[in-house]
Chains A and B, each alone.
Chain A
């Protein structure tokens, strides 16, 4: 009697088994990889804004402090986007006839808000609070990157939970003096300085769920 399975079926079985193992592995690994890809996290993806606002110019060339426009960052969960009247504080003097800021003048005239596009977006079950981070020595650049080098702002980091926890597990290396919060370039001179900052801010590990999820 001829063999039920010809010899090549051995190879076929091996290939099928390997493919099956590969499929199962990739079914697990692929979402993990995908969730970390910039495509999923939105990192590096500049948003088209109603006004081509250039942070490079305002931050680097004009040396306007972050908190001049995002003033609520110190006292509110939200850093805030400036009201049209804040922009016009300068721009009714300079570049006041520019077509680029026509939406701004329209907003101030009609009272209708400008529809800025959100760049850094956290899920609704995450309660991030700017005020505590800013007041406890976490600089703007730590999360938002070198905004002073961005023409159109994009998200730099993953903003995933594991990324948050990297710092929440050990905040000390990320701390900076209160007066250097908005600095884009400050770095600690020595581990001793970092340790002193951690002591100054009473920095502590905060990893229980209700720190952020409520």
Chain B
């Protein structure tokens, strides 16, 4: 256990100054002074210029190129556009032409560039840890081929790639005895099973939320944990943008146990234990089908509903009943324009019920439709846990990490180690690699050729941004070798396979666009099989336990695949703002019942009756708004492989995963009496009645003059002794400003990651986060309002407000922070002497100080943005409004002798935001979004009473709650 161990990324503490004698101190100080004198004697250091020998025609040194490619997770592609500086990929942004991205990125996508340059990636082929040659792999695969695949088991990650599928089919034809398994712990399975139950076929549910007026999310984190989350977030936000009190706004209900980003933007949130969702789904089905739409309530359903409801807890909370009635009413009013969505942790019957409700509401073909699964053989036995069993003579694990990320009672690590011949292909020397004999370095997504489908089926080409850094091999290369027909090059293999599998689709055109337009899968005509569904409904809702656990993928490190990425470990988890750890999230009431507080360690235990230990000792973290009698524990931690950053952080939630208990098992929690300090970035969640994160309802905005006046007061001129800011703004230069819409912000933290990636903000490690020295320029504050029983979280991205009357500027003794003509509050690192006066005088607390030299001199530094200074120790830093992008656009515009386009400058946070909650532009341009948003009635300035006149304004958080049913 690592309860007290600090992470090695922590900043150095210096050479034990506390143990130093006075004499030794002066000796060191004297030596230091002398050394500094010598250093000053050196003339300029010699620096090389290395031109190309043969310069590629498309490359202009200093000007980045952009390539479309995709990142693939559990088989689902998300399109990206990657910036490359002379062959060095540095930053990802979303591909606007890709349906799963629409131009936005997830936090973990942004961090992919750091994983690419991870110095701890597997670097060479090894045989039990000893470097080996590729010929050894060739022999292994040739032997398997010679046996006709007898005893051969191939475990792959779920794939949607037409090119890999072709290879699998060829292997199956050539080696009929070979067995294939596809494994990813959080790949969607329940949805396919549920649709098979309701519709007779294992189909994939597709959602179009563009026209959805009423949405019910049943344990479904639509905007953050879904292969189409970015598209969902955008579509939901587009229906919820408030211009004034008369704006039309959709209504979003969230029924969930943890506090997800979807719950944050919901109008109504029902916090229930995971098992209660079944009951609520049944109630909702009953209520919706009772609305008297023609043919919507077959007789078979009545008996089933009666049976299910007979088991309902006699003291079911009235609050739930009222909300369910309201949900049904709103769904009914918006019939054909509504959606009931279910998260994949819920059992198949809930998915089946949701399909039935959507059918009953006439949503099918409009907001909800079904397609064949995008992932190869999804919903079939090769994707089940059972496919991992067996005692193969030759085991090929091509990606993923099944030895870690699988039900613990399978004992897969031991099973893999027992295989006489085993090979692991992957990026890291992880748990599975350590159980296998041979390890072959894999390829990062940014290093390989290939193809994949998006969740809606859109074919997405993948192209490399860089040559493989560590002699990596692709999955296809291994399968080709298994067939005994190694291709000439990866590019040739991809081009040829593309031509065979996708005839008539131009590969080059697809690469240029990053997606094949119109290649989404067609909708499948379906009919609800009520008679098959009825028995399942009758049995629904029987699951219950005094304390329930939900094992959820961590929003950033997922199932552990990104746990070696320091960016993602230091990114505060949205619900708890915990970094560098996982913890048992539970409600204040549950914590009180257990007698524990944040940081206290509890032993979680799942009863399984096998020889494995299903106990995990984890610290508790109290999350207001979490369901009572339930615990959410994120997976991906407690890693035990060779990745040095990931190793020893947190505790593995997969130890509590059994084939019988599933990902939502009954659990017992026993306080252990010890404590672990948790690196949480925000511990005080009360607004203390200060005008920081304002909000109200759409009704208030329309009808409540007092509410509108209060908002207006937070932006109208104040009496001041200082000279007023001289307006109106001059026509030139541009006057930059930002506007952040709290209504659509989900707090998903994509912007925070994008900011860190763009601006080279360093990772400081757990110990320094505990000292409140995290360096993120942009943070997401989370406040809790409402009652103790029904807390409502409000999230607010907070960064430098670029005040017109900036308090930081008055107090800097060296003018290191000044105001530019275009309204930026500039921070000049080379002037800063580190007095920290500015930070002390900043009411928004957005300035960060480099207490140590945090610069990462490992291979990681290749991910740095060359357009931003890497800061040294002892200087203050903060959000610059991405001034490097502004100056770039300015130079481009001035060279072309034109004005900067209205939407030409996009800050990194703005570009990443899936909900487009951040707008940036010039106030001198009346067409800009910020100019328009500033005129809205709910635009306000945070801490307006301080007279700082911030350039960043917020749009108050507007909810659209329905009247009680």
Which residues of A pack against B, CB within 8 Å?
39-40, 42, 45, 47, 72, 75-78, 80-86, 107-108, 110-118, 121, 123-125, 127, 129, 131-132, 135-136, 202, 208-211, 213-214
Residues of chain B having any CB pair with chain A under 8 Å: 43-44, 46-55, 60-63, 818-821, 824, 826, 828-831, 867-870, 880, 883-884, 887, 891, 894-895
> Are A85 and B53 in contact, CB atoms less than 8 angstroms apart?
yes
CA distance A135 to B893 in the complex (A): 11
Closest to B828 in A: A209
Task: Among B47, B51, B831, find the residue whose CB has the most chain A CB atoms closer than 10 A.
Answer: B51
Whether B53 contacts A127 by the Cβ 8 Å rule is: no
Distance of A116 Cα from B894 Cα, bound (Å): 32
Q: Specify the chain B residue showing the minimal Cβ separation from A119.
A: B49
A81 CB to closest chain B CB (Å) equals 4
Assuming the A-B contacts A111-B54, A210-B880, A213-B830, are A76 and B62 also in contact, with contact meaning beta carbons closer than 8 angstroms in the complex? yes
Q: Closest Cβ of chain B: how far from A134's Cβ, in Å?
A: 9
Assess the B61–A127 pair: CB atoms within 8 A. no
Q: Which residues in B have their C-beta under 8 angstroms from that of A136? A: 894-895
CB neighbours of A135 from chain B (8 A): 894-895
Query: In the complex, what distance in Å separates the CA atom of A62 from the CA atom of B568?
Result: 57
When distances are taken between beta carbons in the complex, the residues of chain A under 8 Å from B826 are 208-210, 213
Contact between A125 and B829 (Cβ–Cβ < 8 Å)? yes
Alpha-carbon distance A80/B52, docked complex (angstroms): 10
Q: How far is the CB of B140 from chain A (nearest CB, A)?
A: 35
Are B53 and A78 interface neighbours, CB within 8 A? Answer: no
Q: Is the CB of B895 within 8 A of A132?
A: yes
Interface SS, A side: loop
CB<8 Å pairs between A and B, sample of 17? A42-B43, A42-B44, A76-B60, A77-B63, A78-B61, A82-B51, A85-B53, A108-B54, A110-B53, A116-B49, A116-B51, A118-B47, A118-B48, A210-B820, A210-B828, A213-B829, A214-B867
Separation of A129 and B302 alpha carbons in the complex (Å): 74
Q: Which A residues touch B48, using CB under 8 A?
A: 115-118
Inter-chain CA distance A129–B887, complex, in Å, is 10
The reply to whether A72 and B62 form a contact with Cβ atoms under 8 Å apart is: yes
Summarize B's interface: helix, strand, loop or mixed.
loop
Give Cα distance in the complex from A110 to B53, angstroms. Answer: 8
- In the bound assembly, the distance between CA atoms of A198 and B46 in angstroms comes to 37
Instruction: Indicate which residue in A111, A208, A213 contacts B869 across the interface (CB closer than 8 Å).
Output: A213
Minimum C-beta distance from B653 to chain A (A): 42
Q: Name the distance in Å between A131's Cβ and chain B's nearest Cβ.
A: 6
Q: Which residues of A contact B63 (CB under 8 A)?
A: 75-77
Besides A47-B46, A83-B51, 7 more A-B contacts (Cβ < 8 Å) are A45-B43, A77-B63, A81-B51, A127-B867, A129-B891, A132-B894, A213-B830
CB closest chain-A residue, reference B884 = A214
The reply to whether A124 and B869 contact each other, CB–CB distance below 8 Å, is yes
Query: How far, in whole Å, are A214 and B881 apart by their CA atoms in the complex?
Result: 11
Check A210/B830 contact, CB under 8 A, given A84-B54, A85-B54, A131-B895: no
Closest-by-CB residue of A relative to B882 is: A214
Quick one: which of B44, B49, B824 contacts A210, CB cutoff 8 A? B824
| Complex contacts, B62 vs chain A, CB 8 Å | 72, 76-78, 80
Are B43 and A113 neighbours in the complex by a CB distance under 8 Å? no
* Distance of A135 Cα from B883 Cα, bound (Å): 21
Query: Closest chain B residue to A129 by CB distance?
Result: B891
Known: A84-B51, A129-B891, A211-B887. A123 touches B880 (CB 8 A): no
CA distance in complex: A85, B54 (Å): 6
Structural contact, B50 and A113, CB atoms closer than 8 A: yes
Task: Report whether B44 and A121 are in contact in the complex, using a CB–CB cutoff of 8 Å.
Answer: yes
- The distance in angstroms between the C-alpha atoms of A81 and B52, with both chains bound, is 9
Contacts of B53 in A (CB 8 A): 83-85, 107-108, 110-114
Residue of B nearest to A72 (CB): B60
Complex CA–CA separation, A210 to B940 (angstroms): 28
Residue from A39, A77, A123, A208 in contact with B818 in the complex, judged by beta carbons closer than 8 Å? A208
Asked, given contacts A113-B53, A208-B820, A210-B883, whether A80 binds B868 with beta carbons under 8 Å apart, the answer is: no
Contact present for A113 and B52 (CB under 8 Å): yes
Do B868 and A214 have beta carbons less than 8 Å apart? yes
**Do residues A83 and B55 form an inter-chain contact, with CB atoms below 8 A?**
yes
Contact across chains for A72 and B61 when beta carbons are under 8 A apart: yes
Query: What residue of chain A has the Cβ atom nearest to residue B54's Cβ?
Result: A85
Q: Tell me, in angstroms, the Cα distance from A208 to B887 when the chains sit together.
A: 12
| CB neighbours of B50 from chain A (8 A) | 113-116
**Across-interface contacts of A115 in B (CB, < 8 A):** 48-50
Of the listed residues B46, B50, B52, the one surrounded by the most CB atoms of chain A closer than 10 A to its CB is B52
CB of B52 within 8 A of CB of A83, answer yes
Distance in angstroms from B602 CB to nearest chain A CB is 47
